[in-house]
Structure 1
Amino acid sequence: MKTTINGKDLLAIGYPQGRALGAALELLQQPALAAMETAAALELLKSVKEQPENYLDHETLEALATIIIEDANAAADGTIALNTDAKEYAIYGAAHIEEGARKQMATAMKLPVTVAGALMPDAHQGYGLPIGGVLATKNAIIPYGVGVDIGCRMALTIFDIPETHFLENTAKYKRELIAHTKFGAGAGFHGQHKADHAVLERDEFNLTPFIKQLHDKAWTQLGSSGGGNHFVEFGKIEFAERDEALNIDKGTYLALLTHSGSRGLGATIAGYYTRLAKQLCKLPQEAANLAYLDMDTEAGQEYWLAMNLAGDYAAACHAVIHQKLTQAIGGQVLAKIENHHNFAWKEIWNGEEVIVHRKGATPAGKGVMGIIPGSMTAPGFLVRGKGEELSVNSASHGAGRQMSRTKAVQNISKDDFKAVLKANEVTLIGAGLDEAPMAYKDINVVMAAQQELVDVVAKFTPKMVRMADDGSRED
């Protein structure tokens, strides 16, 4: 009689969740064990579990015995073993995703807390979880799965102003854009120029002495933007048909689009809790940057509250920028749309509550609106999510880089950069060669790879872009 042993049977005889359990289940598919009586096979596997050193020269059981010994040694020094096999995950736009991003995602899918994952078509290699990686975990939060720029966000304001007004008054728009924005690592406002917002009164700023001492920095940087790929830009947005939900008719309108995050507040929180997670959660070297905090611990709850504070602070920064510029240019606001990326949410996936990390990915639950930008010369898209479960209700957060910053600076000339801007009639204020359009993937290819994830509602075309003057990265 063929054996019919499952994972529950192995758990009952002492196999823990993890690599050894997976290896034992695989062994049961081999002819030698598959043909055994259930009781005999269980007795043998129990013996291997309890005395693995006796099976190190066994033709069939050596690999399992080795894993059991390795896991025992790892447990002795506090290292948490990864699962032997990565859980399956969906990849969108696989032909254009580098191997490094795939390897990082595969490692993340071996974490013992991982439930599901997906890789977006703009994905590229990052730290821990790849940029464009989505990871659902059970009762665990990964600081580097959220990212350094916590709550990095897109925000769009659509005005009743026609494109012609912008084209006839570009000097005014440029003047106001420069006057009401500030960019770069460490940039902020001082004295009477400081903005105010209810987020600064949040109780979470008194959560710990560490968080409390970040309040002044948060106030100074409120309403500013970071370096790197952060921007504030005017452009035209085109609706091919009336959108009932937004109550916007078919046509072309002026819009303001911003991209930035939680500034020094978020970066400092990310660094602190990543270090803490690495101290509390020792993982093998290849997974060290995926160290997680148990949501049932004080550290896990602290990070969760701090992360949400940083996310709301990022939203407040956008609100200040949009308020200033709306007041400066006039016009009626037809709609406002915004979405986080670099964040984690409690969501229901496949019937259970999970923590969904979207590191450079846009929430795309059914009916959820988001903004997916291209580059400074490529269109961006206002989208509505379809709620695709395989993508863990997510979509890309942009076009994604095809060149690292270093490679872009080495391979793109200033003349070529200027030529692309001129050809696309884009006025650029600031930015370095590392943000040149050629450093990014083709947004149209990216959008084609995620048609099952989102519906396009409107197309945004940048016309006047401001970024950090020196191309500096976020502090």
Structure 2
Amino acid sequence: MPTKASPKVLNYASHVDDNTLTQAAETARMPFVHPHIALMPDAHFGKGSAVGTVIPTTGAVIPAAVGVDIGCGMIAVQTRLRAEDIDGMDLGRLRTRIEDAIPLSPGNYNSGLNRFEFTRARIDSLDEQATDDGVDLSHSPKWREQLGSLGGGNHFIELCLDERDVVWLFLHSGSRGVGNKIAQKHIKVAQRLCRQWWIRLPNADLAYLPQGTPELTAYLRDLSWAQRFALENRAEMMDRFVAVFAEWFGDNVPGGVDAGSDSLEVDRINCHHNYTVRETHAGKDVWLTRKGAIDAHEGVRGVIPGSMGTRSYVVRGKGNPAGLCSAPHGAGRRYSRSEARRRFTADDLAARMTGIEYRHGDEWVDEIPDAYKDIDQVMADAADLVDIEHTLRQILNVKGT
């Protein structure tokens, strides 16, 4: 059950630090918040506003609350295969094929646009939207090459099994460098305007763009494009993942069993967890910013990842109005990256990843599961917000540095 952490903050997190609560209360005091802020079970301290915060606003949007990885989110594909169908197959070879098909790590883009037949249609559609809506992408001349690339940090690609031993493909990423450039551009505009108008803010990252201004109109136009890019970026990577997985599976099946990508996929879920959208809450139309939260309206399906080496969940929303029809986006960090590196080693990570195929090394120590909250507790705290449909456990993990 949620608790009232401050007059306009409803807290669903059973484990949350004082800095995060202070940050949420600070955001909730902005005069245009309606009716309250919902702090998700995975909430933790962030830049400007806490990660895991759902912020409904009337008449204004806070660009830094949306964040710099606009449209970051998850995509999951259920296949027709079961664990016994891939038992004994070389997961290391699959991992290298994935790493060859999908550029990893910040700054790594595609060297060309013609390797996969489905890529061009996505680029053309995004190009058309940018032209029709007047989205200026001159700051990101390489945005086309970024489509279908993973990035780094907590972004990942995984092969999973659910509670029935059904095989799932799973990944986490967002709008890459182009989304970051769009976000930084409008955050600076909001900060400049608030200084110009002598608006006193608790911190500069709560600078906002008022409704009715050309600056908000421009931000929402660019935001819509960046959210679309993030959605298509995940779909592009997933299509590549499905293709290389089907090829790998076919290579391992005697007798040339049909493993075409079209015949493998049974279900697909693609959802944002860093974005702003128009919704109605407590009788008013608001701009709802989900910073580290997913849509959990009644019946809406979503994906909540754990951390590297822990379970993830396919969920269905309950439409809880107190929770602003939202749910957590993952485990949420317990330790900062620098603190995790101070506490843990590559050997600690290897012990936690026993039985999971991954690329060994100390680059991912800050992503060790111990650096995150207990995903089982997060899901227990989210019981009023979502129902769990499937529980996924990974057997292969790919990360960028």
Equivalent residue for 1:235? 160
- Letter of the structure 2 residue corresponding to residue 164 of structure 1: E
| Aligned mates of 1:336, 1:391 — CA distance in 2 | 25
| Aligned mates of 1:188, 1:295 — CA distance in 2 | 36
- Letter of the structure 1 residue corresponding to residue 223 of structure 2: M
Superimposed CA distance per residue, residues 234-281 of structure 1 (whole angstroms, 9 cap, x where no aligned partner): 11123xxxxxxxxxxxx3211111100000111001101000001112
Root mean square deviation, CA, Å: 1.8
Q: CA deviation at 1:90?
A: 1.1
Unaligned ranges ≥5, structure 1 = 1-84, 239-250
Normalising by structure 2, we get a TM-score of 0.88
**2:204 maps to which of 288, 296, 303:** 288
Q: CA deviation at 1:352?
A: 1.2
CA contact (8 A) 2:77 2:170 kept: yes
Superimposed CA distance per residue, residues 276-335 of structure 1 (whole angstroms, 9 cap, x where no aligned partner): 001112443523211111231111011111111111101111111111121222242110
- Letter of the structure 1 residue corresponding to residue 292 of structure 2: G
| Aligned mates of 1:336, 1:119 — CA distance in 2 | 28
| Aligned mates of 2:284, 2:201 — CA distance in 1 | 30
Equivalent residue for 2:176? 263
CA contact (8 A) 2:108 2:151 kept: yes
Q: State whether structure 2 residue 93 is matched by structure 1 residue 161.
A: no
The 5 A counterparts of 1:238-387 are 238=163, 251-282=164-195, 283-330=199-246, 331=259, 332-387=264-319
- CA 1:258–1:205 in 2, change beyond 3 Å: closer, same or farther? farther
Q: State whether structure 2 residue 342 is matched by structure 1 residue 429.
A: no
| Aligned mates of 1:199, 1:435 — CA distance in 2 | 35
| Aligned mates of 2:42, 2:70 — CA distance in 1 | 19
| Aligned mates of 1:400, 1:342 — CA distance in 2 | 14
- Letter of the structure 2 residue corresponding to residue 276 of structure 1: V
Superimposed CA distance per residue, residues 179-223 of structure 1 (whole angstroms, 9 cap, x where no aligned partner): 2121111110123557421443233356557x2314532101110
Structure 1 stretch 143-152 or stretch 156-165: which is displaced more? 156-165
| Aligned mates of 1:206, 1:218 — CA distance in 2 | 17
Match of 1:390, SS?
A: coil
Q: CA deviation at 1:88?
A: 2.0
| Aligned mates of 2:17, 2:114 — CA distance in 1 | 44
Normalising by structure 1, we get a TM-score of 0.75
Equivalent residue for 2:24? 105
| Aligned mates of 2:272, 2:155 — CA distance in 1 | 14
CA contact (8 A) 2:201 2:207 kept: no
CA contact (8 A) 1:380 1:461 kept: yes
| Aligned mates of 2:87, 2:277 — CA distance in 1 | 41
Q: CA deviation at 1:380?
A: 0.4
Q: CA deviation at 1:164?
A: 2.3
- Letter of the structure 2 residue corresponding to residue 443 of structure 1: I
- Letter of the structure 1 residue corresponding to residue 186 of structure 2: Y
Q: State whether structure 2 residue 100 is matched by structure 1 residue 184.
A: no
Match of 1:391, SS?
A: coil
Match of 1:387, SS?
A: coil
Structure 1 stretch 180-189 or stretch 131-140: which is displaced more? 180-189
Match of 1:281, SS?
A: helix
Match of 1:90, SS?
A: strand
- CA 1:201–1:208 in 2, change beyond 3 Å: closer, same or farther? closer
* Percent identity of equivalent pairs: 32
What is the aligned residue count? 369
Match of 2:322, SS?
A: helix
| Aligned mates of 2:318, 2:215 — CA distance in 1 | 35
CA contact (8 A) 1:383 1:455 kept: yes
**1:401 maps to which of 322, 326, 333:** 333
Q: Which structure's relative contact order is higher, taking Cα pairs within 8 Å and 6+ residues apart? A: 2
Higher helix share: 1
